[in-house]
């Protein structure tokens, strides 16, 4: 089992708090917060470190949108399950892109860290 960083655990807790707050706000405002970006932020924060957790957070975000009344859109002619599937697909793409970007940034930081160690030995 891979050691989990404290940053990853903090991101998951922050994402859970964000989604809970967003769900409560949607219940209070009768589902008026429908912007995908509001749900994509916690998904990307979690997926930065682990893509599997990002997909799980995407599914949780869709459930929170449904519970909060933000899904399905009142103007939508599609069934609710299809809106949920499209929402999950959009958030899953966000999660995978965020993970790929996070992996690239971590690799770049590792290279810089290694370069700094070898330069001092010359």
Q: Over 90: is that where the pLDDT of 76 sits?
A: no
User: Mean of the pLDDT values across residues 66-91?
Assistant: 88
Whole-number pLDDT of residue 58: 93
- 25 exposed, middle or buried (CB, 10 Å; 0-12, 13-18, 19+)? middle
Domain membership flag for residue 105: yes
Is residue 43 assigned to a domain? yes
Residue 18 lies in a domain: yes
19 located within any domain = yes
The per-residue pLDDT for 1 is 41
Question: What is the number of domains present in the chain?
Answer: 1
The answer to whether position 1 is within a domain reads no
Percent of the residues in the chain that have a pLDDT greater than 90, as a whole number: 40
Distance from C-alpha of 18 to C-alpha of 12, rounded to nearest angstrom: 10
Q: What is the pTM of this model?
A: 0.77
- Other Cβ atoms closer than 10 A to 21: 12
Residue 36: inside a domain = yes
Domain span holding position 65 = 6-119
pLDDT, residue 122, reads 47
């Amino acid at each position: 089992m891979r050691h989990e960083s404290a940053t990853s655990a903090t991101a998951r807790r922050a994402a859970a708090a964000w989604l809970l707050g967003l769900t409560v706000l949607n219940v209070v405002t009768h589902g008026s917060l429908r912007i995908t970006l509001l749900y994509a932020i916690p998904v990307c924060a979690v997926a930065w470190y682990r893509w599997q957790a990002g997909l799980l957070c995407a599914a949780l975000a869709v459930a929170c949108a449904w519970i909060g009344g933000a899904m399905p859109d009142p103007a939508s002619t599609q069934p609710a399950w299809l809106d949920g599937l499209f929402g999950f697909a959009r958030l899953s793409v966000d999660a995978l892109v965020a993970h790929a970007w996070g992996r690239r940034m971590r690799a770049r930081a590792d290279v810089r860290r290694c370069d700094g160690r070898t330069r001092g030995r010359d």
